[in-house]
Amino acid sequence: MPTQLVRFARRLEDIPACEDRLDPQARAELARVLEQQLSGLQPHVAVLDAARSLAQPGVCAVVTGQQPGFTASPLYSIYKALSAIRLARSLTQAWERPVVALFWNHADDHDVAEVHHTHVVNRNLDLQKISLPGLSSGRTPLSQLVLEDERSRLPVLRAVFEQLLRTEPELERAMAALFPRAGETLARAFTRAMTEVLGPLGLVVVEPDWIREPLSRALAGLLEHDPYAALAQGSERLAAAGYAPAIPPADAALLFHHERENGRVSRRALRSGGEGYQYDREDGSRTATELAAEIIDDPHAWSPGALLRPLVQDLCLPVAAYVGGFGELGYHAQLSVLRERAGAPSTAFVARLSATLVDPEARLALQILETDVASVLRARGVFESAEEPAEPEVAARLREVGERAAKELLALREALALLDPSLVVQLKRSAGEMEEAATALAEKARRVHGNRAGKGRRHERRVSNLLCPRGEPQERLLGPLPFVARFGTQWLEELAFEHDPFDPVHLVVHLGPDLPNAGGDA
């Protein structure tokens, strides 16, 4: 992507020193609010130290963010945070001043269907979706969706996880950190989860409601620069460079009004139209000046849409760089013209960490199947259909023995009936049970032989559903809870500080010690 559209950082030197755009009062207020809000979660001291440091002149932040998913799902939310933590540490060392890793909880978003579930690989090696029930996809911000025991069935869902993961050594800790608590909003459960798991590494999570007034001032200020026209021009630049705009400005909700009715909050989108901006299906409209005045008059009732959010962040936070996925890079590249008009910094964009986690059982299955992670990912988890290996001789002999024994027993019916006709029923039952037992043992032998031969469907299912579930990257479907329940959190720290934040390769992360390859039906 052309550098004039977005500052894509490929090395540390591509990130310019952060300008101190915030006045001392704004800095002090930002640090105070973050410390106050996060203190209620009783976080690791590293979190509060990082939040307090933002009051100091020259201290800046590496920002990333994501919608608040159920049990902190999917995994790439964690990876974004790890990338921000790693980059912040690198910049701290290079610039010799604190740089904070700041995670923006997209609590204003309202698409519940994107975040109310997670997936796990269950004990049958099937992919199982676990969802919060009773949450409809309305217009209520995720910061307002309160999770209650009855409606959200939290005790039932807790029992599901505890049953699926009952043998894992860190289950209690993982559930305490990542599973929502009754009375929390979906957004607050996510903030707490990320703070519990990554707070020791200094991650600071922020919810938009905490800093609503400066956000709204920045949003109102952007309206002075005709953001729709600037975004349209930026999209034209992007198209001229051969890239399709990620979010066409004509269709984009540029900002949202948060309206309260009957005790519930809903978001109402404003788009470009009429004399400036109008609600969907509205006859009238309002000018940019009129809309800016409404925002300043009631700052807690407004939030930016996806296209304006990066600029609002840059204008009210001391941002040194933004960490995101390549999908986000697309709409960051549309902002070049609006950045110029608004005098906003040209924030460096750094690609997030991407990884696949491999547990010991999957490694053993890969070995038995005579394949590797790269091959599975390239094939999107699909194994070529192949004939089952020939049945081993012992399995066939077991079936023959069972059939022969049953036949010999049944041949004694007449002689047994002469003694007592009622014994014939027991004879038939015994003959059937004997044949069934021999057949079941033969089937077990066949499966073991198939697994040893590398064609076991069970191994294929394990590998497919763990590494590339439904043909998608693992990080987009699976969540962190099963991995934390089994392996704790030490691997997160190792992954944070061992990966190169500027190397866009996909990492394969092996967790836990290898299992002995004893063969059999693993």
| CB-based contacts of 22-27 (< 8 A; 24+ apart in sequence) | 22/316, 22/317, 22/318, 24/57, 26/214, 26/316, 27/54, 27/55, 27/56, 27/57, 27/59, 27/318
Whether the per-residue pLDDT at 222 is higher than 80: the answer is: yes
Whether the per-residue pLDDT at 80 is higher than 60: the answer is: yes
29-77 residue pLDDT tens: 999 999 999 999 999 999 999 999 999 999 999 999 999 999 999 999 9
Whether the per-residue pLDDT at 454 is higher than 50: the answer is: no
Our CA dihedral for 427, 429, 433, 439, rounded to 10 degrees, sits at: 90
pLDDT of residue 426: 79
pLDDT of residue 296: 97
* Bond before 74 cis per omega within 30 degrees: yes
Whether the per-residue pLDDT at 452 is higher than 70: the answer is: no
What percentage of the chain reaches a pLDDT higher than 70? 94
pLDDT of residue 465: 96
Whether the per-residue pLDDT at 521 is higher than 70: the answer is: no
pLDDT of residue 453: 54
Whether the per-residue pLDDT at 384 is higher than 90: the answer is: no
pTM for this entry: 0.85
pLDDT of residue 281: 87
200-219 residue pLDDT tens: 999 999 999 999 999 999 99
Contact between 292 and 220 (Cβ < 8 Å)? yes
Compare 429 and 68 and report the one with higher pLDDT. 68
For the sheet with 264-273, list strands across it.
276-279, 264-273, 255-261, 302-304
Compare 450 and 12 and report the one with higher pLDDT. 12
Compare 69 and 242 and report the one with higher pLDDT. 69
Q: Which two tokens stand for residue 391?
A: 């049945």
Contact between 179 and 71 (Cβ < 8 Å)? yes
Determine which of 228-232, 268-272, 454-458 has the lowest per-residue pLDDT on average. 454-458
Query: Model confidence at 4, in pLDDT bands (50, 70, 90)?
Result: low
pLDDT of residue 312: 96
> Average pLDDT in the 222-233 region?
95
Q: Which two tokens stand for residue 411?
A: 């041949």
Query: Model confidence at 1, in pLDDT bands (50, 70, 90)?
Result: very low
Compare 262 and 12 and report the one with higher pLDDT. 12
> Average pLDDT in the 245-252 region?
88
Determine which of 15-29, 103-117, 156-170, 422-436 has the lowest per-residue pLDDT on average. 422-436
pLDDT of residue 399: 86
Q: Across all residues in the chain, what is the average pLDDT?
A: 91
Compare 482 and 401 and report the one with higher pLDDT. 482
Q: Which residues contact 94 (CB under 8 A, 6 or more apart)?
A: 12
411-427 residue pLDDT tens: 888 887 777 776 767 77
Cα Rg, the chain, nearest whole Å:
29
**Alpha carbon distance 154, 200 (integer Å):** 27
Whether the per-residue pLDDT at 133 is higher than 90: the answer is: no
137-163 residue pLDDT tens: 679 999 999 998 777 789 999 999 999
